[in-house]
């Protein structure tokens, strides 16, 4: 290393300058150990705040309540509604009916003269106005009592009216109405012109409970019994008499059965064809105790077919008391499950009636 740069002394430098150089050298000597000590000292670990764990709260979904007569999620406001049943006219002069397309369940029954009438039941979607309303028949208490709630009709033979009055149902009767809940409309001829303010009657009876579930429903449409074990069926033809032969055709586009009467499309009040998600055809006996007025035998059992999703399954129906719901059991003994949606039930007489399922 050159002495010119780092030498300790030189005769050409003065004493003070030499002293300054030594002082500077000493400072360097002292500083280096300090730096070494600092470098060798253990490092203080850095303190880093741990992030708080992220908590994801997944809300528990509220249980979905199903409409008891439809097997679909309840509509807002329908949870506490009672069933509203009505005798609906099916004479040519009564068509198209008002509100029939909004029913949960419809029964078609034989009446005098080979004609048919409906027992229509609403709960999930009760119209403000429905009709035309007609008179009661002797089998109607056996059909309607399991639903509870309210029954509306225009009147009937005294003995038949009394049969219905003797049930726990609230009876709303046109012949006895002095409140304006029933009235006649202008665009239909009498006696096919009586309509009823259904929601007004329901609102007057907040004490009534909703109906109990009548049939089993599958969680998914393709899990309905007919879909799982039924045979393909494109058309179901039924015959009540020479005057009435309703039929149903499966429409894949609408995923429902479309109704016809006497070979013509059966239309609703807005011009669309009446339809059903499920169709139950029951073979029933007829009791002629009341002369020319037939009574469909509802307490008993018989052959049945259940159609859903373009397939039909053979079954047996049974009902052990007036207040009991109808049970429909497949040939393997299992209780049949319907798809969620509306249901029509054809009560086809074993005497003179017929059923044909077309693949």
Q: Rounded to an integer, what distance in angstroms lies between the CA atom of residue 20 and that of residue 16?
A: 6
Mean pLDDT computed over every residue of the chain: 88
For residue 344, which of 297, 282, 300, 268 has the smallest C-alpha distance?
282
pLDDT band, very low/low/confident/very high, at 58 (cuts 50, 70, 90): low
Q: Rounded to an integer, what distance in angstroms lies between the CA atom of residue 327 and that of residue 192?
A: 33
**Residue 283, Cβ neighbours under 10 Å: how many?**
19
Per-residue DSSP letters for 213-266?
Answer: P-SEE-SSGGGSHHHHH-EE-SEEEEESSSS--EEEEEETTTTEEEEEETTEE-
Residue 131 lies in a domain: yes
Half-sphere exposure of 106 (CA within 13 A, CB side): 24
pLDDT for the residue 18? 39
pLDDT for the residue 77? 78
Residue 258 lies in a domain: yes
Residue 321 lies in a domain: yes
Average pLDDT over residues 167-186: 97
**Residue 159, Cβ neighbours under 10 Å: how many?**
10
**Is it the case that residue 132 has pLDDT exceeding 60?**
yes
In this predicted model, what pLDDT tens digit does every residue of 306-324 receive, in sequence order? Answer: 999 999 999 999 999 999 9
SS3 21: helix
The answer to whether 309 and 244 are in contact (CB under 8 A) is no
Residue 309 lies in a domain: yes
Residue 45 lies in a domain: no
Residue 182 lies in a domain: yes
**Residue 289, Cβ neighbours under 10 Å: how many?**
8
The answer to whether 86 and 154 are in contact (CB under 8 A) is no
In this predicted model, what pLDDT tens digit does every residue of 251-261 receive, in sequence order? Answer: 999 999 999 99
The rounded Cα 31 to chain-centroid distance in angstroms is 89
Total structural domains within the chain: 1
**Is it the case that residue 1 has pLDDT exceeding 90?**
no
Please report, for the domain that includes residue 328, its CATH number. 3.50.90.10
DSSP state of 133: B
Residue 50 lies in a domain: no
Sequence-ordered alpha helix ranges (H) in 70-197: 140-144, 158-165
pLDDT band, very low/low/confident/very high, at 48 (cuts 50, 70, 90): low
pTM of the model: 0.83
Residue 35 lies in a domain: no
Q: Rounded to an integer, what distance in angstroms lies between the CA atom of residue 49 and that of residue 52?
A: 9
User: For residue 298, what are the domain limits?
Assistant: 84-358
**Is it the case that residue 304 has pLDDT exceeding 60?**
yes
Average pLDDT over residues 225-245: 98
Half-sphere exposure of 319 (CA within 13 A, CB side): 23
pLDDT for the residue 79? 81
């Amino acid at each position: 290393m050159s002495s010119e740069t780092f030498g300790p002394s030189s005769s050409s430098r003065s004493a003070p300058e030499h002293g300054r150089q030594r002082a500077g050298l000493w400072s360097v000597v002292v500083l280096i150990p300090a730096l070494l000590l600092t470098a060798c000292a253990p490092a203080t670990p850095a303190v880093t705040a741990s992030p708080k764990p992220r908590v994801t709260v997944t809300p528990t979904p509220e249980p979905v309540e199903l409409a008891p007569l439809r097997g679909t999620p309840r509509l807002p406001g329908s949870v506490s509604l009672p069933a509203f049943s009505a005798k609906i006219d099916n004479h040519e002069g009564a068509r198209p009916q008002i509100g029939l397309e909004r029913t949960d369940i419809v029964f078609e029954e034989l009446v005098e003269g080979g004609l048919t009438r409906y027992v229509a039941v609403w709960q999930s979607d009760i119209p403000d106005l429905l009709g035309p309303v007609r008179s009661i028949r002797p089998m109607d208490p056996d059909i309607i009592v399991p639903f509870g709630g309210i029954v509306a009709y225009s009147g009937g033979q005294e003995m038949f009216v009394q049969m219905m009055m003797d049930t726990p149902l609230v009876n709303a009767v046109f012949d006895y109405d002095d409140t304006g809940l029933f009235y006649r409309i202008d665009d239909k001829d009498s006696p096919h012109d009586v309509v009823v303010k259904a929601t007004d009657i329901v609102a007057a009876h907040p004490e009534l409970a909703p109906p109990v579930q009548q049939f089993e429903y599958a969680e998914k449409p393709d899990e309905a019994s007919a879909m799982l074990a039924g045979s393909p069926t494109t058309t179901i033809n039924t015959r009540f008499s020479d005057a009435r032969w309703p039929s149903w055709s499966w429409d894949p586009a609408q995923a429902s059965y479309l109704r016809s009467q006497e070979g013509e499309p059966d239309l609703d009040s807005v011009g669309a064809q009446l339809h059903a998600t499920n169709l139950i055809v029951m073979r029933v006996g007829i009791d002629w105790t009341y002369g020319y007025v037939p009574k469909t035998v509802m307490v008993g059992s018989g052959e049945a077919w259940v159609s859903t999703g373009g397939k039909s399954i053979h079954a047996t129906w049974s009902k052990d008391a007036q207040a009991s719901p109808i049970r429909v059991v497949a040939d393997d003994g299992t209780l049949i499950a319907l798809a969620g949606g509306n249901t029509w039930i054809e009560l086809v007489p074993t005497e003179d009636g017929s059923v044909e399922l077309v693949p």
